[in-house]
Amino acid sequence: MKKQIIKPTILPGFMELLPREQMQFNQIIMIIQNTFEKNGFLPMDTPIIEKSEVLLAKGGEETDKQTYSFDRGRNNLALRFDLTVPFARYSAQYLPELTFPFRRYQIGKVFRGERNQKGRFREFYQCDIDVISNRELSIANDAELPSIMHTIFKRIGLKNFKIRINNRKLLNGFLEYLEIFDSTKVLRSIDKIYKIGIDTFKVEMNGLGVTEDKIFSIIDFISISGKNDEILDSLKKLGMENDTFLSGLRELEQTITYMKYFGIPDESYVIDLKIARGLDYYTGTVYETILNDYPEFGSICSGGRYDNLAQYYTIQKLQGVGMSIGLTRLFSLMLEKGMLKESQFGNLTRVLILTMDDNVEFAAGIAEKMKSHGINTQIYFEDDKLARKLSYANKLGIEYVIIIGEREIKNGTLQVKNMITGEQKELNIKDTISALGG
Amino acid sequence: MKKQIIKPTILPGFMELLPREQMQFNQIIMIIQNTFEKNGFLPMDTPIIEKSEVLLAKGGEETDKQTYSFDRGRNNLALRFDLTVPFARYSAQYLPELTFPFRRYQIGKVFRGERNQKGRFREFYQCDIDVISNRELSIANDAELPSIMHTIFKRIGLKNFKIRINNRKLLNGFLEYLEIFDSTKVLRSIDKIYKIGIDTFKVEMNGLGVTEDKIFSIIDFISISGKNDEILDSLKKLGMENDTFLSGLRELEQTITYMKYFGIPDESYVIDLKIARGLDYYTGTVYETILNDYPEFGSICSGGRYDNLAQYYTIQKLQGVGMSIGLTRLFSLMLEKGMLKESQFGNLTRVLILTMDDNVEFAAGIAEKMKSHGINTQIYFEDDKLARKLSYANKLGIEYVIIIGEREIKNGTLQVKNMITGEQKELNIKDTISALGG
């Protein structure tokens, strides 16, 4: 009977990498995790599968449609579509056991059954940080989070990006002043103005029944630009007496000042009154991050401040501020545009020891010493020609090859070959380790 | 309208941890990943969702029943139930781009919709290493893998465990010699003999039509015990002339010898002829690992050698050897039995800086310096009483608190309080950093 072979493929919209790229991806994950932890954020993880009634407590047709859900036993189950909803559920569930302010990070895969299109993923990594409290939370947090994200972007090799920052209270206050009280739809249109353009925005405003003069006021307002100080000055000069607006202005000014304290260089952040964020749970500061060379790519890191994180799971109000990197999309862009530097990541294995089966004992001893000095080491056990073994090291990008023969075992020395320069030396084990920087 | 509150819960069979336990779990993941990489294993990741026809290519009623699967669009999708099947699919799919021997590791969640019972998880982490090749693979690999796992167990704090090792060819050869040719079912019974006991084993053998004298031969054979050398001697003295048996004996002897070379201490591994492994794709070496204090817990790390990894996806034969840790189960046992040492893992955040809103600039500068010396640092921004802030540090287990007031800013000094001893000193920033070992 002939066995049936099934074509090995994966579904569209799922990212899968070859080992070299996977190493680069993991390296970025490590940088993100390390930077979060360096700043006092605690790790969190939640199940990928939860009850649909819990994950979809908030509702919203778009989310429901995109969520992978299915029946199992008596339950309808769903795969998490973001890390915020599980975080809200977690905070409510373990409320008495958490210490506030609670600084948490979570890095993990989320799932959205989106229509298949380039640059959109159905399974992707989100990297979230949030600070939440059951009491008042200092505005300094709103400045610290983008400074942490800024550090990450620098460390992973992004050069040309800008964190755009705004405060929803400014927009809300301004719309109140214009006596537009159903502001949600207006904010959604503003949020996508970079995508739809001014003309479509006007049409949408007309559709909502906003008068011509008010539309121009809104456009004038969100177009205020300049350096951060200049924008803040312009906002003050508007002479608005609306409380919401004034509170937003105060918060934004403080955030901008603190961002300087946290070491974000001037060129990396800018007030942008067009940033509104679609999600309606943001109530203060909002962020987006744009790659200057690829503005059409959209935001690589977004977030904001909210008043009531866990409202669907507890009556305890939890206020907080959070930011999230959509890593899979960002990584695939970096890969496509050659933004990942080979030198920056390198190969995990630094030394390949070549040996015959009958000197495994000697080779194992050498490998143990290398590893105890922090040098990642692999032994090539198979009985192949030398040329094939050297080619193996080359293909994997391994920097050094150690060759062990009868003579070396007798003399207690090693033939150490640098695969980049081609240079080969006979060294003892101690000199080998120091030559490799161990 | 009163908002409906949904009770925040997760499904049974899913592990979720509080931050302190999550830190310990992540620390173990880091140790595993680091040890794999130190030994030249390359990272791999595969989607959590794949097409059912691909994941379930092999079939098998038990697997099919336990797999979470559902329809979406025109496809039936499934969540991965192990990391071996995706690895087989991956190897076949990227065959021309892989360099053999291919050493890969993969750490990730897998899903099994098992009947809910204590100690069984529906979502759990597996940590796999495998070495595969399209040509012959040295038996030295069969010894290196358990030595890597041994290093991991030591590093995560397990003290009292034993790697049980066997070679399927011995059992197969012995059954051939007894002229029992339908060996699969016999092997399955042997595999669970620790669980079912000798009497039930006999009943099962009777059921398979194995004669009384052969049953006793099998029991005598698998009961051979002693030190490793003694067992090997006993096996030789059987005087078997069956080729399969002799090949298995040679391989087992080599593996045992090499395991010593790779530094596994004598007390940590033992030949056990009762180890068969249920899965029928193993063809040579097989492993299980038992915690001596909790033998009823079953194996915490298993694996073996196989001849044809990717047979359902390619005609290219790939031979290999692999081992896997079922981490979620192991971790939950360690948690329950107090096997995680507080001191071993500690807290991620070492310093909490206490400040008022109006000296955020000074505090941010201090935090930056601490972090640049590798000291994880958090600033407490909120305007609370000192007692509340100190209690926060205590609850989170943060070792040092730095207090900054007007006087300290003027003098350029810091009040450094050790939260464990209670000792408080006024130090400059340089001395603070060196006091903290930065």
Q: CB of B61 within 8 Å of any CB in chain A?
A: no
The minimum CA-CA distance between A66 and chain B, rounded to whole Å, is 11
What is the domain range of residue B249?
Answer: 164-261
pLDDT at res. A1: 44
Q: Which of B94, B122, B312 sits opposite A6 (nearest CB)?
A: B312
Taking the C-alpha atoms of residue A269 and residue A289, their distance in angstroms, rounded to an integer, is 9
Assess if residue A10 is contained within a domain: no
Do both B333 and B364 map to the same domain?
no
| pLDDT above 60 for B272 | yes
Residue at which a domain ends, from A342, A364, A399 = A342
Q: CB of B357 within 8 Å of any CB in chain A?
A: yes
CB contact under 8 A, B357 and A140: yes
Assess if residue A8 is contained within a domain: no
Q: CB of B59 within 8 Å of any CB in chain A?
A: no
Q: CB of B265 within 8 Å of any CB in chain A?
A: no
pLDDT at res. B194: 87
| pLDDT above 70 for A345 | no
Taking the C-alpha atoms of residue A162 and residue A264, their distance in angstroms, rounded to an integer, is 11
Assess if residue B281 is contained within a domain: no
Assess if residue A5 is contained within a domain: no
Q: What are the tens digits of pLDDT across the range A238-257? A: 999 999 999 999 999 999 99
| pLDDT above 90 for A221 | yes
The minimum CA-CA distance between A251 and chain B, rounded to whole Å, is 13
| pLDDT above 50 for A417 | yes
Q: Which of residues 374-433 of B touch A (CB under 8 A)?
A: 376-383, 392, 395-396
Q: Which tokens is A324 given? A: 């999230």
pLDDT at res. A2: 54
Assess if residue A274 is contained within a domain: yes
Taking the C-alpha atoms of residue B436 and residue A333, their distance in angstroms, rounded to an integer, is 40
CB contact under 8 A, A40 and B349: yes
| pLDDT above 60 for B140 | yes
Model pTM score: 0.95
Residue of A23, A382, A384 for testing the chain B interface, max B β-carbons within 10 Å: A382
Strand B351-354 and strand B377-380: the pairing is parallel
Identify whether the C-beta of residue A122 lies closer than 8 Å to the C-beta of residue A112. yes
Mean pLDDT of A262-276: 95
Residue at which a domain ends, from B244, B261, B278 = B261
pLDDT at res. B181: 84
Q: What is the DSSP string of B9-71?
A: ---TTB----HHHHHHHHHHHHHHHHHHHHTTPEE----SEEEHHHHTSS--HHHHHHS-EEE
Q: What are the tens digits of pLDDT across the range B365-383? A: 999 999 999 999 999 999 8
Strand A49-51 and strand A413-418: the pairing is unpaired
Q: CB of A358 within 8 Å of any CB in chain B?
A: no
Peptide bond before B101: cis, by omega within 30 degrees of 0?
A: yes
pLDDT at res. A249: 98
The minimum CA-CA distance between B215 and chain A, rounded to whole Å, is 33
Do both A336 and A351 map to the same domain?
no
User: What is the count of structural domains for chain A?
Assistant: 2
Give contacts of B109 with chain A, Cβ < 8 Å: 48
Q: Which of B72, B93, B377 sits opposite A9 (nearest CB)?
A: B93
| pLDDT above 70 for A36 | yes
Q: Which of B22, B48, B312 sits opposite A44 (nearest CB)?
A: B22
Assess if residue B221 is contained within a domain: yes
Q: CB of A37 within 8 Å of any CB in chain B?
A: yes
Least confident of A92-101, A299-308, B27-36, B186-195: B186-195
Q: Which of residues 7-26 of B touch A (CB under 8 A)?
A: 7-11, 14-19, 22-23, 25-26
Q: CB of B210 within 8 Å of any CB in chain A?
A: no
> Which position has the higher pLDDT, A194 or B289?
B289
| pLDDT above 70 for A344 | no
| pLDDT above 50 for B1 | no
Question: How many beta-carbon pairs under 8 angstroms link A with B?
Answer: 259
Give contacts of A135 with chain B, Cβ < 8 Å: 382
Q: Does an H or E element contain A206, and which? A: helix A193-207
Identify whether the C-beta of residue B198 lies closer than 8 Å to the C-beta of residue B213. no
The minimum CA-CA distance between B250 and chain A, rounded to whole Å, is 14
Q: CB of A74 within 8 Å of any CB in chain B?
A: no
* Mean pLDDT for all residues in chain B: 93
Give contacts of B3 with chain A, Cβ < 8 Å: 311-312
pLDDT at res. A356: 66
CB contact under 8 A, A348 and B94: no
Do both A187 and A101 map to the same domain?
yes
Do both A378 and A317 map to the same domain?
no
CB contact under 8 A, B312 and A3: yes
Q: What are the tens digits of pLDDT across the range A178-215? A: 999 878 889 989 988 888 999 999 999 999 999 999 99
The minimum CA-CA distance between B151 and chain A, rounded to whole Å, is 11
Strand A301-306 and strand A282-291: the pairing is antiparallel
| pLDDT above 90 for B226 | yes
| pLDDT above 60 for B87 | yes
Taking the C-alpha atoms of residue B234 and residue B212, their distance in angstroms, rounded to an integer, is 23
Q: Which of B16, B357, B368 sits opposite A46 (nearest CB)?
A: B16
Give contacts of A261 with chain B, Cβ < 8 Å: 360-361, 364-365
Residue B4: which pLDDT band, with cuts at 50, 70 and 90?
confident
Do both A250 and A390 map to the same domain?
no
Mean pLDDT of A93-110: 97
- Residues in CB range of A118: below 8 A, 6 or more apart: none
Identify whether the C-beta of residue A320 lies closer than 8 Å to the C-beta of residue A133. yes
Mean pLDDT of B164-174: 96
> Which position has the higher pLDDT, A1 or B206?
B206
CB contact under 8 A, B42 and A19: yes
pLDDT at res. A100: 96
Portion of chain B with pLDDT greater than 90, in percent: 83
Find residue B20's DSSP bridge partners: none
Q: CB of B370 within 8 Å of any CB in chain A?
A: no
Q: CB of A97 within 8 Å of any CB in chain B?
A: yes
pLDDT at res. A216: 95
Q: What are the tens digits of pLDDT across the range B378-437? A: 999 998 899 999 999 999 989 999 999 888 888 889 999 999 999 999 999 999 999 988
pLDDT at res. B344: 54
CB contact under 8 A, A40 and B348: yes
Do both A275 and A319 map to the same domain?
yes
Q: What are the tens digits of pLDDT across the range B241-266? A: 999 999 999 999 999 999 999 999 99
Give contacts of B7 with chain A, Cβ < 8 Å: 313
The minimum CA-CA distance between B10 and chain A, rounded to whole Å, is 6
Q: Where are the beta strands (DSSP E) in B329-429?
A: 351-354, 377-380, 400-403, 413-418, 424-428
Do both B15 and B127 map to the same domain?
yes
Q: Which of A51, A137, A357 sits opposite B138 (nearest CB)?
A: A357
Q: CB of B39 within 8 Å of any CB in chain A?
A: yes
Do both A331 and A354 map to the same domain?
no
Residue of B382, B383, B395 for testing the chain A interface, max A β-carbons within 10 Å: B382
Instruction: Say whether the ipTM exceeds 0.85.
Output: yes
Q: CB of A310 within 8 Å of any CB in chain B?
A: yes
pLDDT at res. B247: 98
Mean pLDDT of A122-142: 97
Q: Which of residues 106-165 of A touch B (CB under 8 A)?
A: 109, 111, 113, 122-123, 133, 135-138, 140-141, 144
Do both B353 and B425 map to the same domain?
yes
> Which position has the higher pLDDT, B59 or A145?
A145
Do both B155 and B29 map to the same domain?
yes
The minimum CA-CA distance between B289 and chain A, rounded to whole Å, is 23
Taking the C-alpha atoms of residue A9 and residue B54, their distance in angstroms, rounded to an integer, is 8
Give contacts of B46 with chain A, Cβ < 8 Å: 10, 16
Q: CB of A329 within 8 Å of any CB in chain B?
A: no
Residue at which a domain ends, from A321, A342, A363 = A342
The minimum CA-CA distance between A9 and chain B, rounded to whole Å, is 7
Identify whether the C-beta of residue B335 lies closer than 8 Å to the C-beta of residue B345. no
Assess if residue A6 is contained within a domain: no
Q: CB of B70 within 8 Å of any CB in chain A?
A: yes
Distances (CA, A) of B186 to B180, B207, B279: 9, 11, 13
Residue B355: which pLDDT band, with cuts at 50, 70 and 90?
confident
Q: CB of A87 within 8 Å of any CB in chain B?
A: no
Do both A310 and A200 map to the same domain?
yes
Q: What is the CATH number of the domain that holds B403?
A: 3.40.50.800
Do both A208 and A235 map to the same domain?
yes
The minimum CA-CA distance between A207 and chain B, rounded to whole Å, is 29
Identify whether the C-beta of residue B308 lies closer than 8 Å to the C-beta of residue A5. no
Q: CB of B311 within 8 Å of any CB in chain A?
A: yes
Taking the C-alpha atoms of residue A122 and residue A67, their distance in angstroms, rounded to an integer, is 10
| pLDDT above 90 for B346 | no
CB contact under 8 A, B14 and A97: no
| pLDDT above 50 for B143 | yes
Q: CB of B60 within 8 Å of any CB in chain A?
A: no
Q: Which tokens is B55 given? A: 């994941």
The minimum CA-CA distance between A384 and chain B, rounded to whole Å, is 10
Q: Which of B43, B51, B364 sits opposite A26 (nearest CB)?
A: B43
Give contacts of B50 with chain A, Cβ < 8 Å: 10-11
Q: What is the CATH number of the domain that holds B42?
A: 3.30.930.10
Assess if residue A4 is contained within a domain: no
Give ∠ CA B378-B380-B386 in degrees, rounded to 5. 130
